[in-house]
Structure 1
């Protein structure tokens, strides 16, 4: 698989941009925060646009300090 092209220097990303390599840890953090606020697994799946199995893995990863 080839590497993605570098973005032109004049292009900027928003402050909420998460680099691809950081996304699993950020999604795990988001899942844990939503779960702590009372979201059910189904609600988490909808909020993060993933399936329930992925929610379980994200919650587990957050507990492991991903």
Structure 2
């Protein structure tokens, strides 16, 4: 796989919560560290996502905000 995004994190699909149009996919990238994404049901099916499967969380953003208390 080649991709231009600089932040690509491998993990395991922890859960898939199906909705009417979109699915919420949780990928565990390290013990206790999760990334959640909302993708269309069609994309979830096309990617063959299943719980326990390996998957990449690919993060592409032009802006990242940082905040502190």
- TM-score of the pair, normalised by structure 2: 0.29
- More strand by percentage: 2
Computing the radius of gyration over CA atoms, which structure comes out larger, 1 or 2? 1
* TM-score for the superposition, normalised by structure 1: 0.30
